[in-house]
């Protein structure tokens, strides 16, 4: 990937890059929509991601290009307005540039920028966080700034919340930033506090990308966010992490039925993250798998951020030998399902699942067998 990035940078700008960085995509292992509710979450950085190259310019121009777009987007350093259409991908690095002064860091003035990705699009693996963190690393290096990893993660989240306009929590950036091979990343989102948790040997991840996406996905995400905040307010807490199952039931009469369902999903999901951490420490992958599937059922029936395609994949996978459990991964409303399997689940089994899906929905999902990987870093 590094050689590809350097080659594409040279082909685009006619010179070599000066700074290279990489950040991985992530699997949301368990903890669906718990992050912006102040809860806990477990995620895994994977062995695919986004790499960014940068070289300085003396004329103050900022030029952005990527392997997924033919156009070079050229801006002055004082042009910080949000872009639209085919140029909207530039909002992720632009948002990082806008966030740097908020965290006391300088932004580089002029530069040439190129990004490459080997993450499948629309699979819920958070290419947005990966490009934010990789961009943050090259911008900070170009400006001669040194910031703590926690601050880099917060810069990425700030960019997504305040510039791109997605009210995400810190899951995506936190896992991409703190990932470690053969480990999961545990995040207590109230701190936030980050820790790594060893992943027992024998666990494999398979991603089944449906390439389906609800037309109103951004609006639906924002609606779920508002519903959770409304539930917290009605229950007299600032965030749903501050309540529990008993308090939720006691306050149920204060909540509209759909708001109660959203809150119950979050409260139960936070409990499932704790139970999953315990099962991982005991090496009990069967118990972990059961919790993953229970998480999906809660998304399906309570949070209602699943789809018929995702539900079919989960139903098919959990009925397949050597699968511990399966659930949607990411924000939902389309996207992908993650299955945790043992080593005996292979491509033949995955293709059988894909064929069943194609028979029902007319097109096979993309399949990705992935491993855990290390977090965001400069490349030398």
Quick one: which of 204, 172, 168 has its CA closest to 49?
172
Contacting residues for 311 by C-beta, under 8 A, at least 6 apart: 296, 300
Contacting residues for 291 by C-beta, under 8 A, at least 6 apart: 30, 272, 275, 276, 279, 325
Instruction: Look at the block and give the residue holding tokens 């002029």.
Output: 110
Angle formed at CA 352 by CA 350 and CA 357, multiple of 5 degrees: 95
Structure token pair of residue 61: 């121009």
Angstrom distance (rounded) from CA 67 to CA 244: 46
Catalytic pick among 172, 284, 311, 342 = 172
* Contact yes or no for 19/142 (Cβ under 8 A): yes
* Contact yes or no for 327/33 (Cβ under 8 A): no
Q: Give yes or no: 172 in active site.
A: yes
Active site residues: 172
């Amino acid at each position: 990937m590094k050689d590809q990035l350097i080659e594409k940078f040279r082909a685009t700008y006619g010179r070599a890059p000066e700074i290279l960085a990489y950040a991985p995509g992530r699997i949301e292992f368990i903890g669906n929509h718990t992050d912006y509710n102040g809860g806990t979450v477990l995620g895994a950085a994977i062995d695919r991601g986004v790499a960014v190259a940068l070289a300085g310019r003396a004329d103050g121009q900022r030029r952005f290009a990527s392997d997924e777009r033919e156009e070079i987007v050229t801006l002055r350093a004082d042009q910080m307005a949000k872009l639209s259409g085919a140029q909207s991908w530039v909002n992720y690095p632009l948002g990082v540039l806008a966030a740097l002064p908020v965290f006391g860091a300088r932004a580089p003035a002029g530069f040439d920028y190129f990004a490459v990705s080997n993450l499948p699009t629309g699979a819920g693996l958070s290419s947005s966080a990966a490009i934010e963190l990789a961009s943050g690393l090259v911008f900070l290096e170009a400006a001669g700034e040194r910031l703590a990893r926690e601050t880099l993660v917060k810069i990425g989240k700030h960019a997504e919340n305040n510039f791109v306009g997605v009210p995400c929590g810190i899951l995506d950036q936190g896992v991409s930033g703190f990932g470690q091979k053969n480990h999961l990343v545990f995040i207590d989102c109230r701190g936030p506090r980050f820790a790594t948790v060893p992943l027992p040997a024998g666990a494999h991840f398979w991603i089944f990308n449906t390439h389906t996406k609800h037309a109103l996905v951004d609006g639906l995400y924002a609606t779920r966010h508002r519903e959770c905040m409304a539930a917290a307010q009605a229950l007299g807490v600032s965030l749903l992490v501050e309540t529990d199952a008993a308090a939720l039931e006691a306050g149920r009469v204060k909540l509209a039925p759909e708001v109660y369902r959203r809150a119950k999903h979050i409260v139960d999901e936070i409990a499932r993250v704790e139970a999953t951490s315990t099962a991982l420490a005991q090496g009990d992958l069967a118990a972990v798998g059961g919790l993953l599937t229970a998480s999906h059922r809660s998304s399906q029936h309570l949070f209602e951020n699943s789809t018929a395609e995702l539900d079919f994949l989960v139903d098919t996978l959990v009925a397949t030998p050597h699968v511990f459990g399966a659930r949607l991964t990411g924000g939902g409303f389309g996207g992908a399902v993650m299955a945790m399997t043992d080593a005996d689940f292979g491509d033949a089994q995955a293709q059988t699942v894909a064929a069943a899906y194609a028979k029902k929905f007319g097109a096979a999902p993309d399949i990705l067998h992935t491993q855990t990987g290390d977090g965001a870093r400069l490349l030398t």
